[in-house]
Structure 1
Amino acid sequence: MTDTPPEFLDVGGNAIAVRRLAGAEPGIVWLGGYRSDMLGTKAETLSQWAADNGRAFLRHDYSGHGESGGAFADGTISKWLGESLAVLRRFGQGRQILVGSSMGAWIALRMVQELRKAGEGERVAGLVLLAPAPDFTVELVEPQLSDAQRRELAENGFFAEPSEYSPEPNIYTAALIEDGRRNQVMGRPIDTHCPVHILQGLADPDVPHSHALKLVSCLPADDVTLSLIPDGDHRLSRPQDLEMLVRAVEAIIVQAG
C-alpha cells in the first residue's frame, strides 16, 4: 500500500488529493469509480507496474472521496469531471492513457469530449475502461427507482441504499441524477480518436454486460477491443483480472505508438 502523503490541488475550493510518478510517455491516468479512492487494488497495481516500468502515472481522489476535501453529497459528474481535467492539466505531461473504472469510465469519456472541444484532443493516447458505467444515473439508477425512492428524491433531495462494498450506504442525490442527464454520452456516436480497450465481467451484478455492448456500438469510428470475462464481477480485482488490466494498458501503449 502507498504510504507517501499526497499532494493537494485546490479545485473549486476543495483540496483534491493527488499522487504521481514521473516517467515515460504516454503516461497513465487512473480514474476511480463512485465512492472509490485512489488506494484501491487496481490503482495500486498500476502504480507498482508504472514504477517498475518507468512509466508516468497520475491518480487523484474526487472531492468527497478518499483523502480529498469536500462532501460526497455535494458531488456531481460535472464537478468530478472538472476536478479530473484540472488534475490532468496541472500534473499530466504530454500524451496520456486514461484508465477509468466504472463511473471513472464515464469521467474518461467526458474528459475526451471536453479536451477535444478545447483543442487538446491529442492529449489522449488511448482509453482502458473497466466495467464501464457511462450514463449510469440515467441508464441504471433511474429506471430502477421505486416510488418511495422517487418521493425521497423529491422531498429530501436524496435517497440511500445499502452498499455491497461498504458499511456506509450509497447516497444518490437529486443533483447527481439531474446533472447525469446533462452529461450523457451514449445517445450518439462517441469519437475518441484513439484506441479503446474495454474489460467487462459477465458476472457483474452492478453493470450488465449489455451496457458495455451498447457502449461499443457508440464507438463506431475507433479501434475498440472488448474483453468479456466469464466469471468477472464488478470490481475486477482478482489476480487474473489485474493481469488482464496490465496487459490491456501495455497493448494500448503499443497501439498508441
Structure 2
Amino acid sequence: MPAMPAETEVTHVKVGAEASARNIAMRIFRAELPSNRPALVWLGGYRSDMTGTKALEVERHAHAVGTDCVRFDYSGHGASGGDFKEGTISRWVEESLAVVDHAVAGRMILIGSSMGAWVALRLIEELRARGHGERIAGLVLIAPAPDFTAELIEPNLSPAERASLAERGYFEEPSDYSPEPNVFTRALIEDGRENRVLRGPIATGCPVHILQGMRDPDVPYTHALKLMEHMPADDVVMTLIRDGDHRLSREEDIVKLKQAINAVLAKA
C-alpha cells in the first residue's frame, strides 16, 4: 500500500454573496484507484477544526480502505474565513451543503462529531428535500449533540448569562479544551430553535452508528439515547463506552470509530 501523504492540500469553496460571502477551507483526499465505496465526509464539532485527531484518523482510514475523504472547516473555524460570532447552524449547514456539492460526486457517509452530528442530520434533511437523499449511504455520529442550544444550553442558563445575552448578544463560559472561552451568541441560540431535529421522528434512510461516552461531561449519554428514540425506522446501532469522555480521541476510541465506519460501509 502506498504511504499516506503527510497532508492533503488545502483548497477553498466560496459560499454566500456580498457581505455574507466566506471562503471555506477543505482538504479533499482522493483514492488512488476508482472505487464504488462511499466517500467519508467529516463534520466537526463546535470550535473544532479539520486537523483534529479524529478528522485525521478518518482520512487515514479512507486511505486504508480505498475511498475518498473530505474534511473542511466551518466559517469562523480553523483555516476558513468568516467571523466565529456570526456562526449559526443554518450558516454551517449551508457551508456543508456547498462542500459536499463541490467535492463529492457520488454517495457519502457523513461522520459527525458533537455539533457535527446536528449538522449531518440537517444536511440530510436538505438533501432529501432536493430529492437527493440517496446520496447518503450512512451516518457515524460521535457524542452527537443535535439541538444542543435548545436542549442543553437554554434550560441551564444562569441569570447572569441571560442578562449577557440580552445586553451584549452573547455570553462566555470557560472551555475545558482551549484557553479561550466558549462564546454562545443570541443569533446561534435563536437560529438553533429553527433547526431543531428532535421535534419528531427522524428519517435518514441509511444505517446509523452512534458512539457515545458515558463519562461525557458536555453531552450526557441520555441525549444520545433520546436521539436514538427519534429514529424508529432507521437501522441504528449504538456503542456506549463506559469510561469514554466527550472527545473520544484515545487510541481505543479511534479503534471503535474505525470499526463503526467499517460496519456502515459493509451495509452501504
Settle same-fold status: TM greater than 0.5.
yes
Aligned match of 1:150: 162
Q: CA deviation at 1:49?
A: 1.4
Q: CA deviation at 1:136?
A: 0.2
Aligned match of 1:75: 87
Confirm whether residue 15 of structure 1 aligns to residue 23 of structure 2. Answer: yes
What is the TM-score with the length of structure 1 in the denominator?
0.98
Contact 1:95 1:125 in 2 (8 A): yes
Q: Distance in 1 between matches of 2:64 and 2:147?
A: 35
Report 1:9-158 matches (<5 A).
9-12=13-16, 13-23=21-31, 24=35, 25-158=37-170
Over residues 132-164 of structure 1, what are the superposed CA-to-partner deviations in whole Å (9 max), with x where a residue is unaligned? 000000000001100110011011100011100
Contact 1:2 1:44 in 2 (8 A): no
SS at match of 2:152: helix
Aligned match of 1:6: 10
Q: Distance in 1 between matches of 2:161 and 2:9?
A: 39
Confirm whether residue 178 of structure 1 aligns to residue 193 of structure 2. Answer: no
Contact 2:9 2:28 in 1 (8 A): no
SS at match of 1:100: strand
Q: CA deviation at 1:2?
A: 4.9
SS at match of 1:175: helix
SS at match of 1:164: coil
Q: Distance in 2 between matches of 1:7 and 1:26?
A: 21
| 1:32 maps to amino acid | G
Residue-pair matches, total: 256
Q: Distance in 1 between matches of 2:107 and 2:199?
A: 27
| 2:30 maps to amino acid | A
What is the TM-score with the length of structure 2 in the denominator?
0.94
Unmatched runs of 5 consecutive residues or more in structure 1: none
Contact 1:22 1:57 in 2 (8 A): yes
SS at match of 2:62: helix
Confirm whether residue 196 of structure 1 aligns to residue 185 of structure 2. Answer: no
Q: Distance in 2 between matches of 1:5 and 1:148?
A: 44
SS at match of 1:254: helix
SS at match of 2:38: strand
Unmatched runs of 5 consecutive residues or more in structure 2: none
SS at match of 1:55: coil
Q: Which runs of 4+ in 1 moved over 3 A?
A: 1-5
Q: CA deviation at 1:4?
A: 4.3
